[in-house]
Amino acid sequence: MPIRRRSILLAPAILAAPTARAQGTWPQRPLRVVVPYAAGGPSDIVARLLTPGLAAALGQPVVVDNRPGAGSMLGTEAAARATDGHTVLLADSPFTIIPAVQERVPYNAAADLAPVSLIGAVTMILAVNSGFPARNAAALAAAAKARPDTVSFGSSGIGSLSHLLPEWFGQLTGARFANVAYRGAGPALQDVAAGQINAIFSSPASIEGPLRAGQVVPVAVASPQRLPSLPDVPTLREGGVELIADNWFGVLAPVSLPAEARTRLATALAGAIAADDVRARLESLGLEPRPGGPEAFARVLDAEFRRWAEVARAAGVSVR
């Protein structure tokens, strides 16, 4: 059984909670934010950065509840099944990928959970080992087309974002890459840095160390524009590949939570994200803040569900 870790973060404005309860406004007791990953990971860090601001805005304590397991499905199921009216989920891109690749999902991602707000997104960087000769996306694709299944990409597991991105890249370029699955993105990146495998799609924060050490070379970014932190690295679009993707973070709630409560929570999230110290910390993690309400987030989710279903189907990716 996974170990559950909880922490309660309070803010001075919690003194206003009795007034909120007296008026009958939501929330009327502590809010539980389920993070479907272990403590210390990116999702956990994002949640804990936002909780003080949320507590101040909502007039209630905010509890971070880590529920790791089954590739985030355990925690997601717990949030989807919650009936207390005070539980929400902090999700990321796997939320929209899992239904496309997993044969057995214990919840309906599109029907059981309703969007509250996008928090932001981390641009994915295409990088190669420093000894690998390809120095742009076209050269990497050409190498794989010349020798199919010999150019290797590291991933954090079958059906993960770092697995489906190379699959999509191959579908768009006509190349066929070899997937080398690891138990986590860290070991995969380590082997790229060591030259055991050739390439990886990774986040800016993860790749920073190997990049500074000269072990990996970024050849493209999967964003619409170049990153300010990597101004000399072209986008995949500049290289003729229409691939734009990121690892997004957002908050969802059980569909039973009233729309008024979701809107209030979205407003509180936007305020928490806008705080200078929080925004600066998020950006230091490579996360571009993109707060928005339920309708805007719903459009993002719809596009993500459709995209990954198409990519997984074309690649024949399925996890039993």
Report pLDDT for 24.
Answer: 54
Q: 9 pLDDT exceeds 80? A: no
CATH fold of 5-121+247-315, please? D-Maltodextrin-Binding Protein; domain 2 (3.40.190)
Answer yes or no: are the C-beta atoms of 184 and 41 closer than 8 Å: no
Environment class of 6 (CB within 10 Å of its CB; exposed 0-12, middle 13-18, buried 19+): exposed
Report pLDDT for 18.
Answer: 39
What is the CATH architecture assignment of 125-221?
3-Layer(aba) Sandwich (3.40)
**Tokens 């806008």 label which residue?**
274
Cα–Cα dist 256/268, whole Å? 19
The per-residue pLDDT for range 127-182, each reduced to its tens digit, is: 999 999 999 999 999 999 999 999 999 999 999 999 999 999 999 999 999 999 99
Cα–Cα dist 166/132, whole Å? 17
Both tokens of 283, joined, read 């950006």
Q: 20 pLDDT exceeds 80? A: no
Report pLDDT for 46.
Answer: 97
Which residues in the chain are classed under CATH 3.40.190.150?
Answer: 5-121+247-315
**Mean pLDDT of all residues in the chain?**
91
Percent of the chain with pLDDT over 90: 88
Least confident of 11-25, 182-196, 255-269: 11-25
Cis peptide before 27 (omega within 30 of 0): yes
Report pLDDT for 272.
Answer: 97
Q: 302 pLDDT exceeds 90? A: yes
Which residues in the chain are classed under CATH 3.40.190.10?
Answer: 125-221
Least confident of 17-26, 69-78, 85-94, 257-266: 17-26
Please list the residues that pair with 181 across neighbouring strands: 155
- Interacting residues of 85 by C-beta distance below 8 A, sequence separation 6+: 26, 27, 256, 257, 261
From residue 31, alpha-carbon distances to 58, 229, 238, 257, 262 in Å are 9, 36, 44, 12, 12
Report pLDDT for 184.
Answer: 86
Answer yes or no: are the C-beta atoms of 125 and 39 closer than 8 Å: no
Tell whether pTM > 0.85.
Answer: yes
**HSE value, Cβ hemisphere, 13 Å, CA-based, for 279:** 10
Considering just the CA atoms, what is the radius of gyration of the chain in Å?
Answer: 20
Cα–Cα dist 266/245, whole Å? 23
